[in-house]
Structures are given as C-alpha cells and as structure tokens.
Amino acid sequence: MSAPRVEAAEGLGILEPTCRDTAAHALTIVRDGVITGEGPTTKGRVHFSRSLDVDDATWCTRILTAAAVDDQPVSRAEAEALFEIAQAATERSDDGRFDDLLAKAVAHHAAAVSGLPVPPRNVALAPDTDIESWAPAYARGLNTEALEWVAAQMRGKRNTNRALIAMVATLVGVAALPLAQLPNVFDIGM
C-alpha cells in the first residue's frame, strides 16, 4: 500500500485491531469496501464495486497480522469474514494475494482449533511462507467439526481458490468424513 493511503487511514482506529473480535470487524469493513467501492479502505483511489485489488489484500493482511493479534490463532469470525470477502469480489486484480491469505488463514484456524501448534500470524500468513511448511498435510489429528465447517464454507459457493480447494480436498479427504457425506465433498467448488 502506498504511503499516502496508509497515512490517510492511520487515524481510523477501527482498522487497527485490539483483539480477534475487532480484527473480524475490521475485515467486514474491507468486505463492505469491496462490495460498494466506498469506505475507509478505498479512500484516495479508484475502486470499483465488487472488485478486490492488491490494496484490499494488503488491508486484510495488515489487519490479520496486527501486533495485538499476531500471537493468537485466526478465529472463526476472522475466517468467516475472509470467506465473505472472497464471495463479494467478482473481479480480482490482486495477483492471487488474497487467495493465498485466505487459504493460510483457514489452515491456521483449523489447525489451532484442533490443538495443533501454529506459528505466529506474521510468519504463517506471510506471502513468502509456503503453507506446506507449517500447515497439517493430513486429516489425522484435526478437529472433525472444524473440517466440516471449512467444507461447508466452500460448498455450493463460487470459489476459485485453488490453494484452499487443494487443502480441503487433502484434509477433508475420505478419512475425515463418513461415507454418507462423500457426495458433499465433491461439491466444494472443484
């Protein structure tokens, strides 16, 4: 993000999270900016409604890696807000940055609620960190309810996030779900 845009938004305390709840709220403000093309995250630039650009992805990263939440796992509310942003954006010009962030944030949440260790957010969610370097590669040990939640978030929605689809296909896999639910696995947006 360029300096003038950051400085213009610095006075907006709502975009500086103090906890995971305020981070989730700040992400809804980004979502609203993506939907309408207006608001504090779009000031000082041309932003079309229903579009997601590099600056929007930067806002999400900045919110999710703020010092106040960096050592806490990504919450379900934060992950849900990211899914809402993904659904709101019909046009993308972010070079895949948001999809990478979404996949990593969801993996961070699922691993943490399963009791697995996760690195600080500034490491796990960094664009130059490979998700494979810290995220679980298989379903064993993961919370089934968390996996079902992730699959439900993706089921029946327009989703082209290949990293997230691959992660869910690997994690949810045949081993994690009863056979009766297998038809639903194939409805996750592939």
Rg (CA), the chain: 16
Q: What is the rounded distance in angstroms from the CA atom of residue 168 to the CA atom of residue 60?
A: 22
Take residue 175 and report the two structure tokens written for it: 């081993």
Token pair 């490979």 in the structure block, residue: 130
Task: Confirm if 190 and 159 have CB atoms less than 8 A apart.
Answer: no
pLDDT digit string (tens) for 99-138? Answer: 999 999 999 998 999 898 999 999 999 999 998 898 877 6
Take residue 48 and report the two structure tokens written for it: 């079309």
Q: Would you state the pLDDT for residue 159?
A: 56
pLDDT digit string (tens) for 139-179? Answer: 666 788 888 888 788 776 665 566 677 666 666 553 344 43
Query: Which pTM was predicted?
Result: 0.80
Using CB atoms within 10 Å of the CB of residue 175, give its burial: 0 to 12 exposed, 13 to 18 middle, 19+ buried.
Answer: exposed
Listed residue (126, 129, 184, 117) closest to 155, CA to CA = 184
Take residue 41 and report the two structure tokens written for it: 């995250």
DSSP 63-85: HHT-TTTTTSPPPHHHHHHHHHH
Task: Confirm if 63 and 30 have CB atoms less than 8 A apart.
Answer: yes
